């Protein structure tokens, strides 16, 4: 049973490691579902003792990309490979909401080529652009055909706990051909129901509000600090990981 923790800063990386996470999704701007982080942070995780997957998402909003944005994602995939990261997290929809299979095929081919060049695999996760598709069964088959290793999904609903039936169906239909990675709202209260679907890995932010620091009120007034201010919590990571171990 594996726990992937999404983090957006160095403190989050340290907390994920300390809490016993199995994998990190590296991103920024978790308040909007995550964006591609700065190159400096990507370089900083080169020696992290966990597999790190880079979220390749150039902006907030939906996943229908312009030609220029498509190039940014391709460059992010290249950055992940060249930085020695274990994987990349990508996704795109076409104008009617289905997976943009042509674009995704280009990105997958690039990732596989880069993996050959560097001499080791680059794992590929299809992100929650999947959840916006009108036919998740069709999207599942397309993801398998494209060669993705896993799908990060909340079962087509904003929170995974509300997509339990769909997650169970996706896991059954996947039949080991692709991993189903539930995410969105995973915490100790929702984890048991998520695990009852049969999946063997979950994705969580494990964030908690942090106590206000001296001077933070002024920073918040200027808009430099989010409200509420959240941070990855090692204890929250450890709690989920202990529940996963108990489920094995």
Burial level of 125, CB count in 10 A (0-12/13-18/19+)? Answer: buried
Of 210, 204, 208, 211, the C-alpha closest to 183 is: 204
Q: Which two tokens stand for residue 77?
A: 């995939």
* Phi/psi of residue 120, nearest 5 degrees: -155, 155
The domain of 107 spans: 2-247
Of 59, 60, 66, 131, the C-alpha closest to 99 is: 131
- Taking CA atoms, 168 is separated from 145, 165, 186, 203, in Å, by 20, 5, 15, 16
Residue 51's domain is classified under what CATH number? 3.20.20.380
Res 214: pLDDT: 65
CA 138, 139, 142, 143 torsion: positive or negative? negative
Q: Distance between CA 214 and CA 104 in Å, rounded?
A: 46
Res 192: pLDDT: 97
Res 248: pLDDT: 85
The residue whose two tokens read 């929170």 is 159
* Pair 240, 186: CB distance under 8 Å: yes
Give the three-class secondary structure for 24.
strand
Of 117, 106, 198, the C-alpha closest to 147 is: 106
Res 217: pLDDT: 76
Each residue's pLDDT expressed in tens, for the chain with a length of 248 residues: 999 999 999 999 999 999 999 999 999 999 899 999 999 999 999 889 999 999 999 999 999 999 999 999 999 999 999 999 999 999 999 999 999 999 999 999 999 999 999 999 999 999 999 999 999 999 999 999 999 999 999 999 999 999 999 999 999 999 999 999 999 999 999 999 999 999 999 999 999 877 666 667 777 777 676 666 789 999 999 999 999 999 98
- Taking CA atoms, 58 is separated from 98, 129, 240, in Å, by 19, 13, 30
What is the total count of domains within the chain?
1
Asked whether the bond before 228 is cis by omega within 30 degrees of 0, the reply is yes
């Amino acid at each position: 049973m594996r726990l992937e923790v999404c983090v957006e800063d160095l403190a989050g990386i340290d907390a994920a490691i300390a809490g016993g996470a199995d994998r990190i999704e590296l991103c920024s701007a978790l308040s909007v579902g995550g964006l591609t982080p700065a190159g400096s942070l990507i370089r900083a995780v080169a020696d992290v003792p966990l597999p790190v997957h880079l979220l390749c998402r150039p902006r907030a909003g939906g996943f229908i990309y312009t030609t220029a944005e498509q190039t940014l994602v391709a460059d992010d995939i290249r950055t992940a490979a060249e930085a020695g990261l274990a994987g990349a997290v990508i996704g795109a929809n076409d104008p009617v909401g289905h997976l943009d299979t042509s674009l995704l095929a280009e990105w997958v081919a690039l990732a596989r080529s880069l993996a050959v060049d560097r001499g080791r695999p680059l794992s590929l996760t299809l992100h929650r652009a999947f959840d916006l598709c009108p036919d998740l069964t069709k999207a599942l088959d397309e993801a398998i055909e494209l060669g993705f290793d896993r799908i990060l999904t909340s079962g087509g609903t904003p929170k995974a706990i509300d997509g339990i039936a769909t997650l169970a169906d996706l896991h059954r239909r996947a039949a080991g051909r692709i991993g189903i990675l539930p995410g969105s709202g995973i915490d100790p209260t929702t984890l048991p129901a998520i695990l009852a679907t049969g999946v063997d890995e979950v994705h969580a932010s494990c964030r908690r509000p942090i106590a206000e620091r001296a001077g933070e009120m002024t920073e918040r007034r200027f808009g430099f600090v989010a409200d509420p201010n959240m941070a990855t919590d090692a204890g929250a990571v450890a709690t989920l990981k202990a529940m996963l171990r108990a489920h094995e």
